[in-house]
Amino acid sequence: MEPETIVSAVILGIVEGLTEFIPVSSTGHILLLGHFLGFDSSGKTFEVLIQLGAICAILAVYTNRLTTIVLATPHDPAARRFVAGIVVAFLPAAFAGVMLHGFIKEVLYESPSLICTTLILGGIVLLWIDRRASPEPRYTNATQYPVWLAFAIGCCQMLALVPGVSRSGATIGGALLFGTDKRSAAEFSFFLALPTMGGAFVYDLYVNRNQLSVDDAVIITIGFVTAFFAALLVVRTLLDFVSRHGFTPFAWWRIVVGVLGLALLHYSG
């Protein structure tokens, strides 16, 4: 394994961790960066499997809260409603992801110009959502969202199957449009990430099990570890940042990255 590959895996793992839970599209960022670094993984598995590091970061931060919910589920209707909401929110993207897996990995993941375009368009939409005049939020506790709202957010999450849209951006944006506040929308996106990213990890590992080599396992492990520590920083600080600054900084970041990406693609041919 070449040193350049190891360095690329470290860089991409850090970028994955820093961008997974903010609405800028971690997949879009690492696919673009991988394109310009000349990094390529078997079946594009690296880009999916290192998300396990980000999942573990959520578990590390929310262990006590998640444990409390799980233990309360048998006898607490509110806990059961929350778990049911996460399940129904997970299902739309899970079904669509399985049905479109080949098309997503073989076509959409191989189109840097599409990723740049969706980054820009998503940034514009996020700017509009963040700045629009909205009534007082009706839902401010992520663990108390009604099941219908969770399902609606889950339907929005399907948009993130297109790289560059952003899973967190689609879920947070959808939640805000349905009357949530910014902090609880971001937190619900954290919780929904657990089954969504966990499911994507397991399914992608199963589909590509025969393509993976020892070298693939090494670089995936490197990406996993760096993604974990980077995501840990984000999970611990994002909610307070969003409460103070909203999502406008992330919207502008998307637009700038998308424009620069298109320019680099143009000049590099």
Pair 156, 162: CB distance under 8 Å: no
Alpha-carbon distance of 241 to 56, in angstroms, equals 21
Pair 166, 25: CB distance under 8 Å: yes
Alpha-carbon distance of 163 to 25, in angstroms, equals 7
For 126, 142, 143, 211, the CA distances from 184, given in Å and listed in that order, are 17, 5, 9, 40
Residue 77: Cβ within 10 Å count:
9
In this predicted structure, what is the pLDDT of residue 14? Answer: 94
Residue 225: Cβ within 10 Å count:
17
Domain ranges of the chain: 3-268
The per-residue pLDDT for range 169-183, each reduced to its tens digit, is: 999 999 999 999 999
Mean pLDDT of 242-258: 91
What is the rounded average pLDDT for all residues in the chain?
Answer: 90
Mean pLDDT of 141-165: 95
Question: What backbone phi and psi angles, to 5 degrees, belong to 210?
Answer: -85, -10
Question: What backbone phi and psi angles, to 5 degrees, belong to 180?
Answer: -90, 165
Which stretch of 44-58, 216-230, 251-265 has the lowest confidence by average pLDDT? 44-58
Q: What is the pTM of this model?
A: 0.88
Alpha-carbon distance of 222 to 132, in angstroms, equals 41
What is the DSSP secondary-structure string of 52-63? Answer: HHHHHHHHHHHH
Which stretch of 13-22, 167-176, 201-210 has the lowest confidence by average pLDDT? 201-210
